[in-house]
Chains A and B, each alone.
Chain A
Amino acid sequence: AQSVAQPEDQVNVAEGNPLTVKCTYSVSGNPYLFWYVQYPNRGLQFLLKYITGDNLVKGSYGFEAEFNKSQTSFHLKKPSALVSDSALYFCAVRDITGTASKLTFGTGTRLQVTL
């Protein structure tokens, strides 16, 4: 079975500072990894994904993620955090067993950016 772990329930960072939201994964084959963001009372919005190629993936709103195969990690990063980045972030891995490619989600990390 494939799984994703987000070891931090909450990450606190001051506006203007760099942020990192951690994610590790476990898969039997090639990983297909995704980050989603959820603002209060809203649905999940796609941020970025890693399929193959460059280990540094750039996404929406200035976010990027670094794929590290040896450490089985896919950490989300942003060079300079904004208060408006405060939200719930989910890492997910694509499960391609069976007839449909389903996403398996981590438990989420709440990012709190303060002035």
Chain B
Amino acid sequence: NAGVTQTPKFRILKIGQSMTLQCTQDMNHNYMYWYRQDPGMGLKLIYYSVGAGITDKGEVPNGYNVSRSTTEDFPLRLELAAPSQTSVYFCASSYATGGAGNTIYFGEGSWLTVV
């Protein structure tokens, strides 16, 4: 039972480079999310999606883009990487039906350093 799978686990980027963090889930969840975690700041929502073809901004979307072409996949694109994007990134997913009581399940995280 894979759950939410993120790749890569670790990555070092140079300033100005671009990259894509991959996320896939095998639980047939409609909702998918990207969060970033900074020390002492908790988790902040970057983008989310309620289904294939539908995405929306969270609290901290600047410098990122997403797409949702399938139910399973929700990649996060970093354009023109900046040191402020050094963080741990978490992909997550949940069911849509059942309302707010649904549990959100997280991937293992992607550690990104921009130098």
Measured CB to CB, the residues of A under 8 A from B are 9, 32, 34, 36, 41-46, 49, 51, 90, 94, 96, 98-103, 105-108
Chain B residues contacting A101 (CB-CB under 8 Å) are: 31, 94, 99-100, 102
B98-115 interface code vs A (CB 8 A; 1 in, 0 out): 011111111111010000
Give B102's nearest chain A residue, CB to CB.
A101
Within 8 A of A (CB), among B1-48: 4, 31, 33, 35, 40-43, 45, 48
5 further contact pairs, Cβ within 8 A, besides A44-B90, A49-B103: A43-B107, A44-B43, A44-B106, A94-B100, A100-B31
Measured CB to CB, the residues of B under 8 A from A are 4, 31, 33, 35, 40-43, 45, 48-50, 56, 58, 90, 92, 94, 99-109, 111
Minimum distance in angstroms from A73 CB to a CB of chain B: 18
Docked-complex contact A107 and B109, CB < 8 angstroms? no
Minimum distance in angstroms from A1 CB to a CB of chain B: 10
7 example contacts (A-B, Cβ-Cβ < 8 A) are as follows: A42-B109, A46-B104, A49-B101, A98-B56, A100-B50, A102-B33, A107-B40
Bound complex: CA A33 to CA B62 (Å): 28
Residue in contact with B103 in the complex, picked from A43, A46, A100, A108, CB distance below 8 Å = A46
Minimum distance in angstroms from A87 CB to a CB of chain B: 14
Given A32-B100, A100-B56, check contact A105 B90 (CB 8 Å): no
Docked-complex contact B50 and A96, CB < 8 angstroms? no
Chain A residues contacting B35 (CB-CB under 8 Å) are: 105
